[in-house]
């Protein structure tokens, strides 16, 4: 029997599924090309459509023999304008334009804004950005019924285009009624991660976590400037963070996004949570079989910064070259991680261990790997917390994570450097050593003479009890026995 081997890279690839990629053959090809996880965008399609997609992913996961994570991305409270007479209009540069509450088709001078919470919120001088910032308006005055603006950048506008309000904290919950229904569906279908869109406050994360009822893991998407003011609290409450550069890039100046990206990655890594860099990483590959040099550098920068995962959006959802996009991202990551300077760069972010036995042992794993020639680190975990602690240290060798829980193995598919395998639990020290060696051999983590670290907790099966580190050597007899 052939067992899945490590990817040969530590950063993970999250690919968005859509019309170009949600059939079984393409999903299987994406896994083979290097996808470790799939994003299901709840903004498009109904529950029957998503249920079929999830079922297809699980079928391909079983065929590949590799744990695959599914991230259900909630739509969130997207603000949109109403409709126009004829479906479109044109806002002249420098002209006045009004948002109002009238139940009438829009014109070149006005349109309905079906979000009453904005009318008493906005103040003179604040900005309204329409259609991903293509149209930029400045508030002249606002009342309960009208928001009069001046068009600093005009242009064509059509029905239900999105509106961003970068200069105000919008008093709307992060979860709409649709999101609540989608969240319940995703939990029932066994999705491993939930992407919470347009997070502004720690309370948004707490509410979503309450509704999840202890199932799955929560990824807070940072795409609102307001979230940056509460970043520490949001990271603390979430299980992971996504740097969602789409809306974030609309509401901030372009030159502000790169340092903020680095700051979010750094803060999240310090708290030992997975961090994903997303949006427009290989955008040109929607239509082109090859990326631009700038896009390659963008992916490489995220890898050098130590992000746990990099994400493809439209490239794999609707693009003409979905498998090629994953393959190129895989090649970029492997090339970066082979760079002799990679280890120094990925450790620019200092991740000091907490004053716990588990953190001290996880830190020791990375130190031993820098001192002794190791083939890998074998981690036994029931909850995944030990694997996250080890990954936070960004050790120089790959990590084989053995867990008795399928859902934990899948969740870890987004964790830096981890190759997760679902296996039966262990009951003794001797069983731990034997199983660690056997699984390492099966999954390509060493040959005769190779050294491994095994990390676990005693008593076995007790969550949060990591207190045991042991270095083992694979012998020729063990290797011969395995081959037989």
**DSSP codes joined into one string, 120-149:** TT--TT-EEEETTTTEEEEEEEE-SSEEEE
- Are residue 256 and residue 389 in the same domain, yes or no? no
Residue 95 — left, alpha, or beta (φ > 0 → left; ψ -120 to 50 → alpha)? beta
pLDDT tens-digit series, residues 137-155: 999 999 999 999 999 999 9
User: Is 465 buried (19+), middle (13-18) or exposed (0-12) by CB count in 10 A?
Assistant: middle
- Residue 363 inside a domain? The answer is yes
Q: State the number of CA atoms in the 13 A half-sphere of 212 facing the CB.
A: 25
The domain in which residue 388 lies consists of 357-483
- Which tokens hold the place of 229? 């003011």
Residue 192 near residue 216, CB atoms below 8 Å: yes
Q: What is the CATH number of the domain that holds 258?
A: 3.20.20.60
How high is the pLDDT of residue 483? 47
Angle at 313 between CA 307 and CA 315, to 5 degrees: 115
Does the annotation count 410 as an active-site position?
no
Catalytic pick from 39, 66, 224, 411?
A: 39
Calpha distance 414→12 (Å, rounded): 6
The residue among 339, 280, 345, 340 whose CA lies nearest residue 307 is 345
Catalytic one among 9, 127, 201, 221? 221
Using one digit for the tens of pLDDT, what is the confidence trace for 298-323? 999 999 999 999 999 999 999 999 99
Considering the domain architecture, whether residues 181 and 320 belong to the same structural domain is answered as yes
Q: 387 and 330, same structural domain?
A: no
Same domain, 72 and 92: no
Please identify, among 283, 317, 341, the residue that sits at the C-terminal boundary of a domain.
341
Same domain, 158 and 177: no
Q: Percent of the chain beyond pLDDT 90?
A: 84
Last residue of a domain, one of 164, 183, 213: 164
Cα gap 426→402, rounded to integer Å: 10
DSSP H or E segment with residue 97: strand 96-100
What are the tokens at 360? 């001290």
Which residue among 16, 53, 268, 279 is the active-site one?
A: 279
- Catalytic residue at 66? no
**Number of domains within the chain:** 3
| pLDDT, position 421 | 96
Q: What is the CATH number of the domain that holds 131?
A: 2.40.33.10
What is the structure's pLDDT at 484? 37
The pLDDT of residue 481 = 47
Do 311 and 210 lie in one domain? The reply is yes
68 and 112 belong to one structural domain: no
Residues 6+ apart with CB under 8 A from 233: 202
Identify the DSSP state of 404: S
Q: Bridge partners of 470?
A: 454
368 in the same domain as 266: no
Choice among 32, 78, 80, 180 that is catalytic: 80
Residue 156 counted as domain residue: yes
Give the residue ranges of the chain where pLDDT is below 70.
1, 461, 464, 476-484
pLDDT of 467: 83
Asked if residue 349 is part of any domain, the answer here is: no
| 414 is a domain residue | yes
Q: Active site includes 279?
A: yes
Q: What pLDDT, on a 0 to 100 scale, did the predictor assign at position 480? A: 53
């Amino acid at each position: 029997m052939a067992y899945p081997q490590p990817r040969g890279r530590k950063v993970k690839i999250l690919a968005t599924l859509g019309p170009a990629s949600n059939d079984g053959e393409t999903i299987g090809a994406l896994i083979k090309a290097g996808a470790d996880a799939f994003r299901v965008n709840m903004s498009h399609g109904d529950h029957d459509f998503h249920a079929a997609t999830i079922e297809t992913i699980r079928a391909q996961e079983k065929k590949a023999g590799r744990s695959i994570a599914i991230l259900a991305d909630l739509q969130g409270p997207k603000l949109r304008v109403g409709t126009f007479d004829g479906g479109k209009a044109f806002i002249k540069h420098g002209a006045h334009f009004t948002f109002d509450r009238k139940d009438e088709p829009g014109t070149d001078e006005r349109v309905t804004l079906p979000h009453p919470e904005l009318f008493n919120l906005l103040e003179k001088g604040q900005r309204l950005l329409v259609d991903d910032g293509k149209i930029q308006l400045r508030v002249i005055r606002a009342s309960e019924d009208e928001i009069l603006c001046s068009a600093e950048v005009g242009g064509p506008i059509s029905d239900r285009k999105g509106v961003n309000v970068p200069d105000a904290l919008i008093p709307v919950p992060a979860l709409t009624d649709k999101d609540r229904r989608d969240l319940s569906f995703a939990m029932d279908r066994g999705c491993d991660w939930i992407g919470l869109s347009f997070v502004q406050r720690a309370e948004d994360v707490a509410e979503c976590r309450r509704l999840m009822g202890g199932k799955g893991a929560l990824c807070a998407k940072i795409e609102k400037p307001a979230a940056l003011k509460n970043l520490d609290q949001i990271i603390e409450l979430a299980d992971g963070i996504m740097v969602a550069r789409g809306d974030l890039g609309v509401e901030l100046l372009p030159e502000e996004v790169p340092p903020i990206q680095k700051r979010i990655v750094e803060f999240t890594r310090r708290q030992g949570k997975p961090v994903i860099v997303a949006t427009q990483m290989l955008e040109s590959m929607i239509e082109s079989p090859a990326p631009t040099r700038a896009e390659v550098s963008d992916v490489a920068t995220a890898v050098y910064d130590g992000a746990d995962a990099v994400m493809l959006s439209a490239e794999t959802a609707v693009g003409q070259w979905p498998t090629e996009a994953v393959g190129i991202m895989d090649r970029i990551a492997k090339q970066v991680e082979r760079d002799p300077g990679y280890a120094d760069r990925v450790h620019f972010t200092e991740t000091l261990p907490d004053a716990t036995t588990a953190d001290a042992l996880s830190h020791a794993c990375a130190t031993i790997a820098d001192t002794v020639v190791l083939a890998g680190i074998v981690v036994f975990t029931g909850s995944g917390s030990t694997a996250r602690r080890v990954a936070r240290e960004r050790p120089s060798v790959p990590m084989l994570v053995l867990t008795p829980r399928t859902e934990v193995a899948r969740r870890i598919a987004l964790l830096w450097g981890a190759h997760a395998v679902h296996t039966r639990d262990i009951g003794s020290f001797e069983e731990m050593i034997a199983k660690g060696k056997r699984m390492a051999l099966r999954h390509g983590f060493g040959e005769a003479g190779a050294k491994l670290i095994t990390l676990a907790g005693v008593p076995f099966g007790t969550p949060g009890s990591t207190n045991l580190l042991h270095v083992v050597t694979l012998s020729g007899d063990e290797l011969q026995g395995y081959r037989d």
